[in-house]
Each structure stands twice: as structure tokens, then as C-alpha cells.
Structure 1
Amino acid sequence: MMWIPIDRTLNKPLIRQIYEQIRMQILQGRLKGGDRLPSTRVLSSNLNVSRNVVLEAYEQLYAEGFIESKQGTGTYVAEGTYLEQEAKSISKNTNRRKPNMEVLEDDVIDFKSGIPALDLFPRKKWGQISREVYLEAPDSIFGYGKPEGRSEIRDVLCDYLLKTRGVRCTPEQLVITTGATQSFSLVTQLLLSHGDDVCIEDPITHELHTIFAATGAKLCPIPVDQHGMQTELIPTNINPGFIYVTPSHQFPLGGILPIDRRIQLIQYARKHNCFIVEDDYDSEYRFEGSPISSIQGLDPDRVIYIGTFSKILSPALRIGYIILPNSLIERCKNIKWLTDLHTPTLEQLTIARFIDEGYLERHIRKMKKTYKKRRDYLKKCLDRHFGTKVNVLGDFTGLHLIAEFDKISFSNEIVKTILKEHKVKIYPVEQHAIEKGKHCNKIILGYGNLDERTLEKGVKRLRDGLILSIN
């Protein structure tokens, strides 16, 4: 008797379930070439399904060559259908996680940075606008789009960024991307070749190490202090493909690049005929004063400006943008077309209306109050549980701060122990450093997606995990 478990609670059709079960048994060798399958009448009776369901499953298997019919004798597994590595890979991969997709237990408090308050996403208004877009859009919207994105979103972004960030551009300079990661990938394809130098802040987010190094470029780390990149340390004996900076809120240390360093950076780029890549990932959430103006506004011909909606709205939207000097626009559009043709159109139109009708600015004003409250509460918790043994850095902007501890080195072993025994996930700055050994006593504490009760519990667990180190 052939055992085929089916689940009527799944959305997957019964035909597909039966087909997949038999196919897998054949590939794994549990059903061997020449084995006879039960008749459709018998199998439908055993599974308590319509005979037509089994017939269609068998027809699909027959069309793909898994089974064959022998007139007058029945249906058999075809020869040559056993795939040896399939059986091995199934057993090996049953519990394998995807790369960089760490699965944490439900009771773990995760201080991951860059995650906004997911429960405060403006679902109702977003859903209303989305529905209107879907119902009111012309039929052409459901076809293919242009690689640079819809004019609606590029028009409103130009106005919004000029008003809030001092960015100077035309809609033609904007390319809508599938998140900031794609923007960085486009930049590397535009500007880097194997062996080229690229100047980057040190530390920077580890993901960018991977993206930039994947081209075969040589990473030239420039140290960061409390004011951001130390621009006077950029080597003068190289001509880098570009210089990467996060001037409005250095990641992860949080410094703000002062005007003299910005001017020095532009002068270097002009002299060495290279571009500056400005990553403006979360500067909308500045808690003291207005957001810092962009470097791009100082020299639009030398600066490539990259932004995203992942921090101010939701990472799930996968919408970002890149503003290019005129000399790079056409090449970037061509590369974008080859990459994924275009970013999803309906989401672009929804964001365009969300911005144009003022809802984005309202959302940012609301969330600034929430994040400031969470930041202040986290600082109080750190002060209450650690006192003078911790110093807070880079907390003027964004969704994270840096906790610098006295005489504590956050080794991999300590981080793993704190996670395993105290159920709190922390992120050492050292993991993002290229030149090791300078930031061993600092950790990144993201608070955007953690309420006050969770922040209190998380800091207490952290204290319990470090109790021997701080005494």
C-alpha cells in the first residue's frame, strides 16, 4: 500500500499534494523504476478523494515522465527517475536555515538596529490608498514599467527631499530601486571594477563589506571618530572608484559629519575625479533640531544620494531610490533594466500618494515622538542598571544608540552566552569593523521595534549576563 499523507486544511490543492508526494517518493527511490502504482480507482478510494483528482495527479506525473502506462497491465514508475543526491539533500537540508536568516526563540529580546516599530505601521491609511490605487489605476499600470520608476513617485520625491534634506535634483536623476541594497549593487556595477580602490567608513554595516568586496575591489577603511569619517586620513596616493559615507548619522557610531569635513570630502572627490556615495538611511528621525542637510545639496555633480523607506515606513515595502549625477543616469537605467526590469509599480504609486497627500510627514512626526520616548527610556534603563560603567554614544538620530562599557570586551563567546543563558541578542560594534580591536567594548542597541516594557527587561537581562564583568 502506497502511503500518501494529504492535509485538507492547506491552501494547496489535493491534486498538487498527491502529485508532489508521489514525485518525491520516486526521486528519493522509495518508489523504484518498474514499481506498479495503484489504480486511480483504488487510490482515490484509499485517500477518500474524487477519482478525477487522482487522474489529474497521474496525468501530470505522466507528462513529466515520472510514470508510464502499460496497456492492459497498469501504471508503473518509469526507469531512470531516481535522483540519488535528492535523497541525500533532503535529509541534510531538513533543518537547514537560509544564510543570514537566524531564527531566534520567541522569548528572546532582540536589540537589532534598523527595525522600525512594525506594530505602528499606518496600516489603515496605507490600505485605503492601496485600494484606491488598485481600483482607480488605468489598465496600463498592470503592464511593464520603466526601469527608472514611475514619474509620480519621482516627482513627489524631488519636492519632498528638497524640502526636508536639501537635496537638489530633477525627476530625471531619480531611479527607484528595490531597496537600498539594490541601490548599492547598482553603484558598484556603475563605478567599480576588479582591483579598484573604494574608500569606506570603518566601522560600517557588515553587509556593505560584502557588496563592495564582491566586485573584487580593494576596501580602503577610513577611521571614524565622534564626528564621523576622518576625512583628513583619506589616502592621497589613490584614485578611488568612490567614497562611501553616512554623514547625517554614521552607522553604527552615530556621528554627524561637520561642514569642514564635508567640504574637504568634496574637494578630494573633485581633485581625484571620483564620486561620493551618500547613504542617508534614517536621518529623518533626528531628535534635537531639524534633520541635517545632505552633502548632495553641496555638489550634485559629485554625490550619489541613496535613500530608502525601510526605516521610516517598513522594510517589507522594498522601495528605495538613488539620485545620480547626469553623467551616470543612462548607464544606471540600463543596469537596472538588466537586473529586474523595474520595481513593483503599484507600490510606487501608493508611496507617491502617501507622500503627496502629506501622510508621510505626519507619520514621521508621530514616530519621532515614539522613538524619542523609547530612546530616553533605554538611556534611563542603562543608567539605572549600569550607572557610570556605561557611556551612551550616537543617540541624537535614528533607531539605535551605542552603549560603551567600561572594561568589558564583547567577544563572540560572551555574546553567545548572553543569548543562550539570558535570552537577549546584542550586536557588538566590532562585528562591523574592518580594522579589529578598536571597538571591543561597544554594542549597538536598536530600540525602534521595542516598547518600554521590553526595553526594561532587555537591559536587565543584559546586566544579569554581564554581572561578573561589571563588578
Structure 2
Amino acid sequence: MVWIEISKTSEIPIIQQVYVKIREQILLGELHEGERLPSSRELAETLNVSRSVILEAYDQLIAEGYLKSKQGSGTFVESGALLEGFPTFKETFAPVKPFYSITNNKDSLIDFRSGVPCLEMFPRKKWARIAKDVYENIDTSLLGYSSPEGSEELRNTLSNYLYKTRGIKCLSSQIVITSGATQAFTILTNLLLKSGSKVMIEDPVTKEIPEIFMERGASIHPIPVDEYGMKTELLSQERQPSLVFVTPSHQFPLGGTLPIQRRIQLIQFAKKTNSYIVEDDYDSEFRYSGPPVSSIQGLFPDRVIYIGTFSKILSPSLRLGYLVLPNSLVEKVKTLKRYTDYHSPTIEQVILARFIKDGHLEKHIVKMRKLYKIQRDCLIKSLKEEFKERVKVSGTSTGLHLIAEFNNISFSKKILDEIKNNGVNIYPVEKHTLVKGHHNNKLIFGYGNLTEKEIEAGVRRLKKIIV
């Protein structure tokens, strides 16, 4: 039986409240496998809310694997979603808002690079207004040296924001601000790895990630990815890794979302091997149907290290990222951060905190999500029109890129150079693989920093080479 209490005065949206309550009851075993939930109409009447609220919450739970819908029969609890020891986290938070990214390019070379936001749309006036106020009125002490973990104002703001939007369970003391995600990875590598340490990692994966681990002398063990993300059934306890690296909300580059059953499998593996899960969440705010998928950290905060960045949301030039850490690692990471660069730029952190608290980030994300959806749809349409049945498009539900798989072609260096000579920068999936030879016919199309005209022109140029 579903029992839900909601607050219509809470800052947390009602959809999110319904989603969180049902999700918790499933993970705690209060709702059992195969149990039928009330219809959306019944639950809406019981809670005195719009039916669309319940439908959206159910859709989100179905997308994440907690529920399944049987046409004509109803909505039921899916199997494999019980998590022993699932931690509940009840705390009242002060006001906060979300964060996101931007895009646009003016060059004869059309660059489909992924992970670049629309730079033309950076909210310069709002940012400048806040910056002016901060510089004129900031406490003098903030102009001196700061603590390695970062601005207290920003960390408090992030603690609230991440719980509301990503289901992350942390206090501000568990957050360390970094100069981008790369520094976060470097710090973790120096802390947790040594020569011969084992790291299990998605394959394919962002090329630079395994390179950072291997620089420390770690042994990399690739785990294949399918359309749902890491194939967690292939994790081997015999290898006893120090880290397992995943991008569960939006796998890079293939674009899958890791379902709850695999998330639980991953958590159980980390428990048995006493390893840490490193969760890289680089662009999941830009989900085009429903809210962003919840984090693994919210399911298992004691052994998950969460990495976030503002590079994809606002601008790479800000060089602001963050780590959400288990309590046991906080002091060690702060020490390493101090040795790395003492602290990240303080004034920018204060400006960002105010930008979020004043609601600008939330508005920016909504605005950019609409823009990116238009650009994504334009790219899909262009690929289908130019290549028809020769192309299969995937990884389109979230983020700033998609994957195009072409029939009867292997993208060799020669072909890629020819494409570039024709005015298009394009990036093969194979570049990001650890085990070679399985993705030779796939390309990564980033669309965040391109106009519709550039997208259409780029695809036309590409067709001239791929005949």
C-alpha cells in the first residue's frame, strides 16, 4: 500500500516529493516486488494534486527501473529494486536553485566537439551584475587566502541544490570545491591509487580518465558498455579494485542511463570488494524528458565519490568543479587540495553561490534545455534526411551530444582527415575505447555550441565524404 505525505509549501516540487517517497518505499522493501500501485487518477485524487504530477513521477520511476507498466493492468513494482541498508536522509534545506551550460561557434570549420555548452548564451549581464555587487561589498577577509575545501557559502548552496536536484545526501562539510573535474580526478588518483592498483572502468569512456589513472601506475580493467551503461554483471570480485569508475546518469560516449538493478549490482560489488565507486556526472542536467536521473551517491553515500562540474552548465572558463566525499576521505582530500593549488578562486565561488541562490541558474538551465533540444532535433533530422537508413542515432535523451552509427563504413584516420579537410571536425567513438575494434563505425556529434544552420551545413559536408 502506497502511503505518501506531501507538503505543498515545501520548496521541493511535488513531482519530486512523490517520486522520492515511492522510490524510498521500494528501496526499503515497504513496497514489494510485483505490488500494484494505485492508478495515477486514484493517487492524484488521494493527494489532491494534478494527475499529470503523478504521471510524471511514475514515468521517472519507470525510466529508472523501479516500476513497470503493463498495458491494461496497471503499474507494478519491478524486481531487483530492494536495497538493504538504504539510508534515508531527512533534512530541511534553505532556498537554492539549479545550474547548467551554454553554446555557439563562428568559424568556417564546423566543430562537433562534445561537452561544449552554448558559449554565446552565457548569462553575462546577470553574472556581471552579481560580480559588481560582490566586488563592491564582499568582506575583506575573502580577498585573502581561503581554505582548501572552498567557499562555505558555495558549499552550503551546493549541499542544498544537489539534494533537491540529484538526490545527493551530503552536508556542506563533505564538499570540496576544485578547479574543474580534471583536478578532482587527479586528487582522487593521488589519494586512492598507487602503482599496481586496479581500476575497473567503463569502455568506451572519456579518453583522459584512464590516462590520469594510468599515469599513477594503476592497472585498468575495462568493463563493456551497452545501451544501458556499464554491464555490471561482468564485474569480477577476483580483481579487488580500488575504484570503479562510472557515468551512470548519461554514459559517455554511448549515452545510456544505468537502471536501478545495475546500480544495486554495482553497490553490492563495491561492498564486497571494499572499493570506491567514482560517479562522474558531467551533463545530466540536460535531460529532455523528465527531471535528471538521481545519483548513485544517494543510494550508497559511504562508498561513492561524486564528481560534478560547471563547465558544461555555464562555461569551461570558470574552472569550477566539486567533489562530494564520504566523511572518511574529507580531511585527506583537503590536505591534497592544499598541496595542489591551496584553494580555487574565492571570488568566482561567491559569485556562483549568489547566482544559484538568486534563481538565475535554474532559469538558465530551463532556457538552455529548450535550446539544446531544438539543436538535438535539428541534428537528428539532418542525419536522417542525408543518410536515411544508413544511419542509426542513439544516446539522445540527455546531454550535449548523440551517437550516429553508420552502415558499412569504418572511420579510419584517412577518412577523418578527409572530413576535416572538408570543413568538419568530427570525433569517433573508437578514440575513447580501451578494447579496440568494436565501435569503428560510430561518431560522436556534439551540438551544444552549434547553430541549426551550422549543424545542417556540417552534416551536408559530411555526406560529401561518406558516399
Give the match for residue 406 of structure 2: 405
**Deviation digits for residues 213-268 of structure 1 (CA, Å, limit 9, x no counterpart):** 10000000000000000001112211111100000000000000000000000000
Give the match for residue 203 of structure 1: 204
SS of equivalent residue, structure 1 residue 331: helix
Give the match for residue 443 of structure 1: 443
Which runs of structure 2 are paired with 1:211-226 in the superposition (5 Å)?
A: 211-226=212-227
- The answer to whether the aligner puts 1:230 opposite 2:231 as a matched pair is yes
SS of equivalent residue, structure 2 residue 187: helix
Equivalents in 2 of 1:339, 1:120: separation in Å?
32
Which runs of structure 2 are paired with 1:356-395 in the superposition (5 Å)?
A: 356-395=357-396
Give the match for residue 85 of structure 1: none
SS of equivalent residue, structure 2 residue 236: coil
Give the match for residue 290 of structure 1: 291
* Number of residue pairs aligned between Structure 1 and Structure 2: 363
Equivalents in 2 of 1:179, 1:459: separation in Å?
32
Question: 1:451, CA displacement in angstroms?
Answer: 0.5
Equivalents in 1 of 2:412, 2:133: separation in Å?
52
Equivalents in 2 of 1:226, 1:372: separation in Å?
20
Unaligned runs of 5+ in 1: 1-103
Give the match for residue 178 of structure 1: 179
Residues 105, 371 of structure 1: alpha-carbon distance in 2 compared, 3 angstrom cutoff: closer
Give the match for residue 456 of structure 2: 456
- The answer to whether the aligner puts 1:430 opposite 2:430 as a matched pair is yes
Equivalents in 2 of 1:299, 1:236: separation in Å?
19
Equivalents in 2 of 1:438, 1:327: separation in Å?
39
**Deviation digits for residues 274-327 of structure 1 (CA, Å, limit 9, x no counterpart):** 110000000000001110000000010010000000001000000000000000
SS of equivalent residue, structure 1 residue 237: helix
Give the match for residue 134 of structure 1: 135
SS of equivalent residue, structure 2 residue 176: strand
Question: 1:105, CA displacement in angstroms?
Answer: 11
**Deviation digits for residues 159-193 of structure 1 (CA, Å, limit 9, x no counterpart):** 10000000000000000000000011111111101
Equivalents in 2 of 1:241, 1:349: separation in Å?
35
Give the match for residue 416 of structure 1: 417
SS of equivalent residue, structure 1 residue 114: coil
Give the match for residue 189 of structure 1: 190
Equivalents in 1 of 2:106, 2:280: separation in Å?
32
Equivalents in 2 of 1:199, 1:234: separation in Å?
8
Question: 1:106, CA displacement in angstroms?
Answer: 4.0
SS of equivalent residue, structure 2 residue 322: strand
Equivalents in 2 of 1:418, 1:389: separation in Å?
18
Equivalents in 1 of 2:107, 2:455: separation in Å?
16
Which amino acid in 2 is paired with 1:204? V
Instruction: Tell me which structure has the larger Cα radius of gyration.
Output: 1
Which runs of structure 2 are paired with 1:17-416 in the superposition (5 Å)?
A: 106-416=107-417
Equivalents in 2 of 1:188, 1:415: separation in Å?
33
SS of equivalent residue, structure 1 residue 404: strand
SS of equivalent residue, structure 2 residue 128: helix
Which amino acid in 1 is paired with 2:247? T
**Deviation digits for residues 95-153 of structure 1 (CA, Å, limit 9, x no counterpart):** xxxxxxxxx99411110000000000000000110111111101111100000001100
**Deviation digits for residues 43-97 of structure 1 (CA, Å, limit 9, x no counterpart):** xxxxxxxxxxxxxxxxxxxxxxxxxxxxxxxxxxxxxxxxxxxxxxxxxxxxxxx
**Deviation digits for residues 422-453 of structure 1 (CA, Å, limit 9, x no counterpart):** 11010000000000000000000000000100
Equivalents in 2 of 1:158, 1:236: separation in Å?
33
SS of equivalent residue, structure 2 residue 335: helix
Which amino acid in 1 is paired with 2:423? K
Equivalents in 2 of 1:320, 1:441: separation in Å?
33
SS of equivalent residue, structure 2 residue 149: coil
Which amino acid in 1 is paired with 2:363? R
Question: 1:357, CA displacement in angstroms?
Answer: 0.9
**Normalised TM-score (structure 1):** 0.76
Question: 1:411, CA displacement in angstroms?
Answer: 0.8
- Identify which of structures 1 and 2 has the higher relative contact order when contacts are C-alpha pairs closer than 8 Å and 6+ apart: 2
Structure 1 residue ranges (4+ consecutive) displaced by more than 2 angstroms after TM superposition: none
Unaligned runs of 5+ in 2: 1-104
- Give the aligned CA root-mean-square deviation in angstroms: 1.0
**Normalised TM-score (structure 2):** 0.77
Question: 1:346, CA displacement in angstroms?
Answer: 0.2
SS of equivalent residue, structure 2 residue 266: helix
Which amino acid in 2 is paired with 1:298? L
Which amino acid in 2 is paired with 1:285? F
**Deviation digits for residues 394-430 of structure 1 (CA, Å, limit 9, x no counterpart):** 010000000000111111111011111x110100000
